[in-house]
Structure 1
Amino acid sequence: MTAAEEAQGPVAAEGRAATATLAPAARAGGALPPANAPLKANFAALQARADAGDLAAATRLYRDLDRCRGFARREREVRRYSDELIAARADTTDARQRDSLRAGLEAAEGNERSLDALRAQCAGLDDSQLGALAPNLQKAALLGEPYARACYLARGPGVDAAGLLDHPERLSAYRGNARAMIERGIADGDWRVLDQLRGAYEPGADSLLAAAVGKDPSQRYRYLKLFRLGAPPRPGVGDEDLAMAAAPLSPSQLADADAWATRTFNQNFHGRALDADGPLWDPCVFPSP
C-alpha cells in the first residue's frame, strides 16, 4: 500500500506502513465546524473526511483531540494556580505585591474562561474517540501538515503510549513512514524536521526516530552541516561538533556532504538564516485555534 493509500484509508488501517511516496495535499471537503465547536457532535463527519484524505479535517481532529486529552491536566493546573493566588491574598500587605496579585487573579479568571470553553468543546467524548489522536496525527503527517509531521517524527505513536498496547502495529508503521516524511520535510525546507534529525543522529540517541534512521556518520554530518549553514552556533551544532562528526569521513565523503548541504540550503531552505530562537520549540505543541 502506498502512503497515499495509507493517508486515505480508514483509521482501522493505520498500522499499514507507507512505502514509496507521501500523499499529495489533500482535497478540500468544505468548511470546517467553527473553532471550539463541540467535538463529539462533529467527530464522525470530521473522521470520515480525514479518512477520505482531507488534510484540514485530519489537522482539526488531531489538534482538538490533543487539547481534549490534556483537559484534565490543564484543569488541575488552573485550579492549583487559582488556589495559590487566593491563599496568598490573605497574607499580602505590600502595595506592589497587591498589584501583582491582582494581575494574577485577572489572569486566573481568564484561565477559568478558557477552561470552561474547553470543557464545552470536549464534553462527552469517549475513550475510542480520544484514542483517535495517534492515527489522525499520522494521517495529517502523511498528508504533509508540518506540525503533525514534526511531532510524528519526534514521538510517533508515543503520543498515545497506552494505545500501543492495543495497536503495536503503529510502531512498524512509524518505521515505514519516517524516511518518506524526512525526505519531504527536507524538500519543504522544514527546520523542525532538520532539528529532529540532528538529535536522532547524535551518538547514543535512543529515540524512535534514531532507531528508524539508524547510525550513519555521513548522514549525521550532512544534517549537522545543513543546520549549521542556517543557524547560529548552539549546543550540538558548533564548529567543534561539526569537526567531530567529520572525523570518520573520507575527503570524498566530506566533499559530497558539503556540496549536498550547500545545495539543499540554497534550494530548499532558500538560503535564509534561522532566527536566533527559530521554530525549534517542542514539536508537539500546536498552534491555538
Structure 2
Amino acid sequence: MFGRSRPRGSGAGPAPGPAVAAASAGAQRSERLLRRASAILRPAVLVLVALLAHRVAGQSLLSALANILTAAVTSTAVQQQRTTPKSTLKPNDPQLGIPCGCSDVDPRDSFLRAKVDYSCFDQARFGACGQSFMLETPEEVPEGYCQISCGRCSCCPTLDSVLRDKGLEMFRWLLGFSDEGAKIKLPGYMVTLLAPTDSAVWAALNRLGYKSKEDVERDSNAKNVLADIGRYHVLAPVEPLKATWTTPFMRSNVEMYTAVSNGKTVTARQDNGGKVTIQSPKSSANVVERDIYACKGYVQVLDAVLIPWSMTGYA
C-alpha cells in the first residue's frame, strides 16, 4: 500500500516506483483525452442548446446562432487575455491590449446572450463591485466579473493617469468642466481621447478671447462652451462591438461619434504616408502621438483643438 507522497528535497521519501509513474502517466493521458473530447463536444452542445432556446424564447434561429458566436468569441478573447505571455502583447493587438492577465467581463445570466443589461462600467458606478453576484462567478470567469472596472487590476493605467504622465494638464482641466473629468479617473471607462497639447489648448483659449484660467472661471457661459469642447474630444466606442478607436482604423472619410449629446462627429483623414488628420466643422488637427494605451481606451495627442461649431474666433 502506497503512503501519502511528500515534497521532494531534503527529508523527502523515495521517488515513486514504475507502477505509480505508469498510473500517473495514464491518468494524465486520460485527462488530456477528456479535455479534447470536451473541446469538441462543447460547441455542439451549445448549438443544440441554442436551437432549443430559440424555440422557447421566440428567438429566430439566426439570432440564436449569432448569440452563440458572440459568446464564443468573447470567451476565447478572455481566455487569450488570461493565458497570453506579457512579452508577446502589443498595445494595438485587438482584444489583447491589457498587458497582464486581467479581464473585464460584464455580469450576465448566460453566455448565450450577446447583450448585457449593465456593463462593468455601469456596475462600478452603481457601487456594485462588492456584491456577491460579481464575485461568485461561473468557471469561465474565475477572477470574478469586472476585474478592471472594479479596481482589482493594478497592471493598467486610467486615462486620467495617462494624460497626467504625458503632461496634458490643460486638456485634463478642459475635461473638468463636464462629467468627463470624473469618468476618465475610472479604470473601466472605454473611450478614445483626442487630447490637444497644452500649447494647443492655450492657443484656442486666446482665440476665444481668454488670457487665463481665471478669465474662463469668471465667465459662466464659457464654462458651458468649454464643457462641450471637452466632450467633443471624447470618442465613443463603436457599437455593438464596443471597439475603441485607434489610428489604423482612422481611414479617410471615417466619421467618429463624440460624447457631445446631439451626436456630433469628427472625420478622419489619412494620407499615403500614414499621417492622420482629424477634421471638425471649424478646425482640424494632426495626430502627433498615437495610440497611447490605457486600461480600456487610448489617447491620441493632437496639435490643435477641434471646434464643433461657429463661436468667437472661429467663424
Asked if Structure 1 and Structure 2 have the same fold, meaning a TM-score greater than 0.5 normalized by the shorter chain, the answer is: no
Q: Is the helix fraction higher in 1 or 2? A: 1
Larger radius of gyration: 2
Q: Is the strand fraction higher in 1 or 2? A: 2
TM-score range (shorter-chain normalised) is under 0.3
Higher relative contact order (CA 8 A, sep 6+): 1
TM normalised by structure 2 equals: 0.23
